Chains A and B, each alone.
Chain A
Amino acid sequence: MSDIKNIRDQFVSKLKNELSLDEINSIKTELFGKNGQISSLFKTVGLIPESDRKNFAADLNKIKDELQSLILEKIKEIETKEINQKLEKERVDITLPGRPFVRGKIHPVSQTIDEISSIFSEIGFSVEEGPDVENEYNNFTALNTPDNHPARDMHDTFYLDENKEVLLRTHTSPVQIRTMLKNKPPFKIIAPGRTYRSDSDQTHAPMFHQVEGLHIDKNINMGHLKGCLNYFIKEFFEVEKIKMRFRPSHFPFTEPSAEVDIGYEIKDGKIVIGEGDQWLEILGCGMVHPNVLKNVKVDPAKYQGYAFGIGIDRLAMLKYGINDLRAFFDCDYRWLNHFGFDPLDVPTNYRGLSR
């Protein structure tokens, strides 16, 4: 009898402690498992003298019941506690309103690049790309701008090494070189991208965007250049007529070279493109210099053609009435929201470029 009492006292006090479910289970096994202390005592019932047997079994059953109910109670207690904890932790307020769904906007520069690409692909140009980090050869030398040439003064270049061999491209023209070295003529490509010059004020940013155009074939002349640019400008500004002029200029990589101005006027404080007696410079162009063709192993006696470079930021400003170039790169959310475009409205020629 004292044995049973000992076991009972021992386990009742054990079960009073703070226990985990695992610990309780192991206690359960210790008592009622196949070789558990209580189970073992039951096995001894037959060996007990008849006189004591009845009392012994009754006591044993009583303690068994007591311990079992104690264990069950403990398990229930733990489970309730765990559930309460879980409920506390994972409480959801189903009365809260749903999260708002915000759709981002397309930056005006990206939109303009898409518009430009769309217009030129319509007339047979494919889009090429080149890296922002260029070598000196592709950016200057191959484009007929030798060392010490004053034309290099026009570019305030960001050099990336002391030998001035690696730089941030100052224009998208090196893409011409890469494209022509890679393939065989004819070429008809545009190359939009970022360009860099160390210049910074209201109308110049150290990083800006250009699109390069190149068309080389057997009989491409300045007339084709003029037609192409005239078409582009009309499409881009979505106007029927455009006043434009070619003004002689100089670039080392083209001969003859021209800058293109378009007419504009200010009406009611707003700029109107395509008419008026003011001129606005928007791009540089010309017939690709024979030396450039020689540098890329194209025979200038057989092939000729034109190239142009357009400042994308300037075009975007004009088309969308943006006054300060710096706003493009300020990342002001309100500005982006106002001037940005719906990402689902991809510009196409037949659907209209901009909405």
Chain B
Amino acid sequence: MWKFILRRLLVMIPQLFLLSIIVFMMAKAMPGDALSGQEINPRANPAELDRIREELGLNDPWYQQYIRWASNAVQGDFGVSYTHKTPVMDVIEDRLWNTVFLALVTLIFTYMLAIPLGILSGRYNDTWVDKTVTGYSYLGFGTPIFIFALIMLFVFGFALDWFPSGGSVDSKVDEGTFAYVVSKINHLILPALSTALIATTSTIQYLRNEIIDNKIKDFVRTARSKGVPESKVYSRHILRNSFLPIAAFLGYEITGLIGGAVIIETIFSYPGLGQLFLSSVSLRDFSVVTAIVMMTGFATLLGTLLSDIILSAVDPRIRIE
């Protein structure tokens, strides 16, 4: 087990290295350089600018620049934002927490839906319950999140006016009060629910198929013939074996949420990393873009790592010695 984790971690090192090189190359290919982020005299003459560039090391060969950028990035220094005129990390921090909260609530909703529906559908397969749930999952497979989110926003945000249609918190409430927390949660529900209702369908189907596969296995028949009551056959024998692979998909689920954040946050104008990413791309604020891409890239690598480790813990066949 430890051997596998170690191996898997070793694989991540070249991946991270490659990721950082690609992100750095992208940053270099973007118009503008670190100078655009500095407060400089707009009337500075070209010779003056060249001198500053030389001082900042922007004329050095690319690998020297890369090493400098990477060592700063490891210490959490991604330079200065062009539009906000503050260090990139300060701009990102609040947004990062908003995205983390949103992802967390979405995950909770996803599993709250997937687990009961998957169990019902798997336990009573080929009944009308199963057919309804399966029908819902097929609809979910074929619906892109952005359209579903727009419809949800239109219905519950505007037409019925049950939920706020944008932002992450009501501007009138003070930070630290109970009303503040309520308002935050209230703003989270609609975007989280929109994502979860679509994202949950693959987990439902997966859980259903796992249960159906396990139902006919020998250990279940043994348990039944021993006289174990039916409810215990499910809770102790079938479900326990069916949940493990589902747990392993947690990492991939997180990876998917990070990717989907760009779309969902834009639709609900929720001030998270995804929305910051898009607005920074539009404003050509490339130091922020680079930092976000690097951070989400790192997070997705971690998500896959997490899933691989859980999977190997659950299923020893995957572990290659």
* Bind each other: no
